[in-house]
């Protein structure tokens, strides 16, 4: 079967297994994610590749090398998704790696170094608030507090959900390094571009220079005072909706000013609302809950903006007689991709005659964790229509195969 057919069938199979009626749901450390790992593993075995699960319960597919003691080439991405997401965020990188390893094996190519494909779990922060859980677990970067975070749907703890799928939670909680960064020659991750830049440029492929970091809160509460909407005059109100609306307007102004100063920054409050059991047309809202997320390529910009955010919260408390309760702040640092590997990927695109430019990644990726752990890391972006984290993600298979060809060229070159 051609690579096109294997890839197409596997994307279709994943959509069939994890479609939710609206989009795709492969909850981190949940059933959809496990179904996806199993589906990829089945095809890997059909292609004659060795498969295993690592200490963090991620899928690992191996093409053995003639010199197994050499540091191995690692590729892949994640197999979970946001709720009602698309079929390509994460899965494209895993299927790309599978097509590369499958083709090399079919051609009888024996690499010097082993080549490993990772189908990682838990990259999305939607379920537990923390991003990159599957890769962080491997590098000893999860704490007991992280593992006690409750899932947004079942309220089971992350540790329990990880244990359910076979992860060695006690070792993870001790911060053991379950994967030795020194054994990994390179981390190569193909991913759909989740913004509109490649489409605007008319190019199928981008080479990533760096990945934005972020500061997040899953749920901040603004506590005001509930009351009768007709009976209380403006000057005696402590309306939590007006207070949070003013907060958002103020941080939007700071955001714009920082952009005008040339800073890199994006800000989002994706979960935002009054408490459904309490809210009513005729009731002054006494309680608003919202998420906070700021992302930047710059650690300093993130910190400065976060301080501004907190000081605006304090000033609104004083002016409007409300209070803000903050849950745990969650950080993911920005990361820079490896210059030598960026050049290698660019050389691969050149030798294949594919025009490709360097570009930063606004979205987060496991490559940030590998890079921070000291593994030289690089990423290939593939053009994708309709954005991402929604059911309309749309990648042309022709573009995907160009990305696969670039990945294969770079891996083959490094594996000889
Ligand atoms: C991962 O998809 C992210 O939130 O950037
Ligand atoms: Mn995502
Ligand atoms: Mn992703």
Q: Is the CB of 367 under 6 A from ligand 1?
A: no
Residue 135 Cα, ligand 2 centroid: separation in angstroms? 14
What is the distance in A from the centroid of ligand 3 to the CA of 64?
Answer: 27
Ligand nearest to the CA of 362: 1
What the block records as the tokens of 304 is 């400065």
Report the atom number in ligand 1 closest to the C-alpha of 389: 2
The verdict on the CB of residue 363 being under 6 Å from ligand 1 is yes
* SS3 state at 126: coil
90 touches ligand 1 (CB under 6 Å) = no
Do 359 and 197 touch, CB atoms closer than 8 A?
A: yes
For residue 156, give the nearest of 126, 128, 120 by alpha carbon: 128
Q: How far is the CA of 87 from the centre of ligand 1 (A)?
A: 14
Spatial neighbors of 59 by CB under 8 A, at least 6 apart, are 37, 40, 41, 51, 52, 53, 79, 94, 117, 118, 119
Atom of ligand 1 nearest to the CA of 125: 4
**Atom of ligand 1 at shortest range from CA of 194:** 2
Helix, strand, coil % in the chain, rounded to nearest 5: 40, 25, 35
pTM above 0.75, yes or no: yes
pLDDT in single tens digits along all 416 residues of the chain: 788 899 999 999 999 999 999 999 999 999 999 999 999 999 999 999 999 999 999 999 999 999 999 999 999 999 999 999 999 999 999 999 999 999 999 999 999 999 999 999 999 999 999 999 999 999 999 999 999 999 999 999 999 999 999 999 999 999 999 999 999 999 999 999 999 999 999 999 999 999 999 999 999 999 999 999 999 999 999 999 999 999 999 999 999 999 999 999 999 999 999 988 889 999 999 999 999 999 999 999 999 999 999 999 999 999 999 999 999 999 999 999 999 999 999 999 999 999 999 999 999 999 999 999 999 999 999 999 999 999 999 999 999 999 999 999 999 999 98
């Amino acid at each position: 079967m051609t690579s096109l057919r294997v890839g197409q069938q596997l994307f279709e199979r994943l959509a069939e297994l994890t479609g939710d009626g609206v989009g795709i749901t492969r909850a981190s450390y949940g059933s959809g994610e496990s179904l996806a790992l199993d589906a990829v593993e089945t095809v890997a075995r059909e292609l004659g590749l060795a498969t295993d699960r690592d200490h963090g319960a991620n899928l690992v597919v191996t093409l053995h090398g003639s010199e197994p003691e050499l540091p191995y080439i690692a590729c892949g991405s994640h197999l979970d998704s946001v709720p009602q997401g698309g079929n390509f965020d994460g899965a494209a990188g895993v299927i790309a790696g599978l097509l590369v390893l499958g083709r090399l094996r079919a051609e009888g190519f024996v690499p010097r170094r082993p080549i490993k494909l990772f189908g990682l779990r838990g990259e999305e922060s939607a379920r537990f608030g923390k991003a990159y859980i599957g890769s962080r677990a491997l590098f000893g970067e999860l704490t007991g507090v992280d593992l006690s975070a409750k899932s947004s749907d079942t309220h089971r703890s992350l540790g329990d959900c990880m244990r359910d799928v076979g992860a060695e939670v006690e070792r993870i909680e001790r911060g053991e390094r379950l994967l030795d960064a020194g054994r990994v020659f390179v981390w190569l991750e193909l991913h759909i571009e989740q913004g509109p830049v490649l489409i605007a440029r008319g190019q199928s492929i981008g080479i990533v220079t760096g990945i934005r970091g972020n500061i997040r809160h899953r749920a901040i509460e603004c506590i005001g005072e509930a009351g009768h909407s007709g009976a209380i005059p403006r000057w005696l109100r402590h309306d939590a909706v007006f207070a949070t609306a003013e907060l958002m307007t103020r941080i939007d102004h700071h955001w714009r000013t920082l952009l005008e100063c040339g800073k890199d920054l994006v800000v989002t409050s994706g979960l935002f609302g009054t408490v459904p059991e309490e809210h009513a047309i005729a009731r002054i809202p006494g309680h608003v809950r919202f998420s906070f997320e700021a992302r930047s390529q710059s650690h300093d910009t993130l910190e400065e903006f976060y301080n501004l955010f907190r000081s605006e919260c304090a000033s609104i408390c004083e002016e409007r007689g409300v209070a803000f309760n903050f849950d745990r702040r969650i950080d993911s640092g920005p990361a820079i991709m490896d210059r030598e590997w960026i050049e290698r990927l660019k050389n691969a695109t050149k030798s294949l005659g594919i025009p490709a430019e360097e570009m930063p990644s606004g979205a987060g990726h496991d490559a940030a964790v590998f890079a921070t752990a000291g593994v030289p890391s690089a990423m290939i972006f593939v053009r994708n229509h309709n954005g991402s984290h929604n059911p309309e993600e749309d990648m042309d298979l022709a573009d995907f195969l160009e990305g696969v060809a670039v990945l294969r060229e770079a891996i083959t070159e490094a594996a000889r």
